Every structure is written in C-alpha cells, then in structure tokens.
Amino acid sequence: MGDELAISVRGLRKSYGGNVAVAGVDLEVHRGEVFALLGPNGAGKTTTVEILEGYRNRDDGEVSVLGVDPAHADADWRSRVGIVLQGTGEFDELTVAEVVHHFAAFYPNADDPDKVIARVGLDAKRKARTHSLSGGQKRRLDVALGIIGRPELLFLDEPTTGFDPEARREFWELIRDLSAAGTTILLTTHYLDEAESLADRVGVISGGTIIDVSTPALLGGRQSALATVSWRTPDGALEQIETATPTAVLRELAERHDGEVPGLTVTRPTLEDIYLKMIGHR
Ligand code: ATP
C-alpha cells in the first residue's frame, strides 16, 4: 500500500444477517484524486464508504485510509478526514454561524468559519436557525461541516441531492477548488453529469462488487462506442444510423444533399447511457 494512495481496499466484505451488501470490493484512490462511486440503490456504496469512514465494521478485507485502518482510527486521523453523510443536519435552535463555529473548535487546524459559510453559499443565512433552512441549504451546511477541519480526504455521500441546478454548479466549483488545493475526494452520486464533471475516475459498483473503474471518458468502452448520425429526409421523416465512421457518413450525406443536411446531429453515448447499459447487464 504505497504512500501515494489515499485509500486502499482489498477484498472488502460486509453482510447484514444473510444479506450480502459488499461482496469483495477492491478499490484504490490516489492522493489528490476526485473519485466517484456510482451504482444503483442498494449496490453497497454507503456501506463501503461508511466502512472507510470508520463508522461501520467490516466482516473481511484490508482497508487503509490515509495509511490507517479506519477500524482503529484515532482523533488525529479523524481530524484529517472530512465527512458529509447522507441526510441533512439540523441543530435545533442554533444558527448556521453558531453550528459552524462550534464544529471548528473540534479541529486543530480549522478553517475560518465565516469564510467556509461564504464558500458554501450560506452567507445570507448566517443568522438563520438551522431548522428553518431549505433542504438544499441544510445540505450546504453539511458540506460546510465536512470541510471546516481542512480535511486531506473528503467523503461526500450524495452531496448534491436536493440542490437546484445553480446550487449544483456552485457546489461543483467548490469541489474543484478543494481538489485544486490538494484535497482527495471520494463521492457517491446518482447524477452521471456530476460524476463526469468532477471525477478523475469513476468506479461502478453493483451487487456489492466493483464492475468497472475508469475515467469518465473511457468507462465501459465509451470511446469506441458507435456514433449515431441522424437527419431528416425531404418528407420530414427521421433517418438515423449507428456508425464507427461518422465523418465518412457526413461526407456522403453532404454529397447527397445540395446545401445543409436537414436536422443533422451526431451523438455519442453519454456516460449515463454507458452506465445504464453496464448496470442493465447485471
Ligand atoms: P443507495 O444508492 O440507495 O444509497 P447504496 O449503494 O448506498 O444504496 P447500501 O446502503 O450500502 O447501498 O446498502 C447495500 C445493501 O445493504 C442493501 O441491500 C441494504 O438494504 C443493505 N443494508 C444497508 N444498511 C443496512 C443495515 N444497517 N442493516 C441491514 N441491511 C442494510
């Protein structure tokens, strides 16, 4: 397990009674990497991540997170790891500013709470009581609490669920900033565009095992997948063909048409198309 690895997992297994949730996961996340774990509901993502966070016991396997087995983690290790769990934090009558300042006090090298509040876009809600926040705002507060300790490694479990599109884009910028500053990030998400936009590599987990790990561009043989060329015939009907040589098809179409080819599009499978195919095959 080299020093350049933030996370190293071999043969991880976990069952709940007779139900096998994680059935032999191998995983490596490099320092400085943004890694997205994808998989359908019940695939074993949260179980895997919570074992890495030291919140769940495992049945079997080797796990090293920042060089430490999380099953035996101490306060020093905890201060180096940031965690944003699923579900939203509410802190009764406390305000946003009070909660973030309170959490900052737990860390030896905490960030400036006011800057962190601004960074997650909650400046206008500094004095709001947490129970009055919207779902997306509570999620932002969760993120603030995950990064207040300036973690070397940040776990984000479905971080943008409930965010509006603008908030999601702002959050992506925050993740890029954290990554540029050297933070290693492991996130789970059901949003394929989020994985594509943020992740250096993605791992697809299904039925408790990792079925592929790759960059978003190469996952599931995406780069060699056929392109679809479609256009409209003179009577308005849609024609389309799948081809490995779309440029040749375009050339032929251009020759056939005098001027513009009506309704011309060339598309390749999206990450979501590839992912759904992979999951469907299981
Ligand atoms: P989701 O996308 O829905 O969050 P997930 O990939 O995170 O799913 P897990 O929460 O890890 O999946 O669940 C994996 C399997 O383990 C599921 O079948 C789930 O029902 C089961 N499971 C998870 N937690 C427990 C628990 N505390 N007790 C019993 N079974 C559990």
pLDDT digits (tens, 9 = 90+) for 25-51: 999 999 999 999 999 999 999 999 999
**Distance from the alpha carbon of residue 40 to the mean position of ligand 1, in angstroms:** 11
Is the model's pLDDT at 140 over the cut of 50?
yes
| Nearest-CA residue for atom 20 of ligand 1 | 42
Instruction: Note down the domain range covering 65.
Output: 1-80+151-159+182-215
Q: What is the pLDDT of residues 157-183, one digit of tens each?
A: 888 887 889 888 988 998 999 999 999
Flag whether 17 is in a domain: yes
Is 46's C-beta closer than 6 angstroms to any atom of ligand 1? yes
Question: Is 59 in the same domain as 155?
Answer: yes
Site to substitute for ligand 1 among 12, 13, 16, most atoms within 8 A of C-beta: 16
Domain end marker among 171, 195, 215: 215
Work out which ligand 1 atom sits closest to the CA atom of 86.
4
Average pLDDT over residues 65-76: 94
Distance, CA of 204 to CA of 147 (rounded, Å): 26
Q: What is the pLDDT of residues 195-251, one digit of tens each?
A: 999 999 999 999 999 999 999 988 888 888 889 999 998 888 999 999 999 999 999
- Identify the DSSP state of 124: G
Is the model's pLDDT at 144 over the cut of 50?
yes
Distance, CA of 15 to CA of 58 (rounded, Å): 8
Q: What is the pLDDT of residues 82-127, one digit of tens each?
A: 998 776 667 778 999 999 999 999 998 899 999 999 999 899 999 9
Side chain identity, residue 9: V
- Our count of domains for the chain comes to 2
Question: Is 45 in the same domain as 155?
Answer: yes
Per-residue tokens: 202: 């993605």
Question: Is 11 in the same domain as 67?
Answer: yes
Work out which ligand 1 atom sits closest to the CA atom of 17.
29
Flag whether 196 is in a domain: yes
Question: Is 155 in the same domain as 268?
Answer: no
* Strands, sheet with 227-232, edge to edge from the N-terminal-most edge strand: 238-243, 227-232, 265-267
pLDDT at 87: 65
Is 19's C-beta closer than 6 angstroms to any atom of ligand 1? yes
Flag whether 200 is in a domain: yes
pLDDT at 221: 82
Q: Please report, for the domain that includes residue 2, its CATH number.
A: 3.40.50.300
Question: Is 242 in the same domain as 205?
Answer: no
Distance, CA of 172 to CA of 26 (rounded, Å): 27
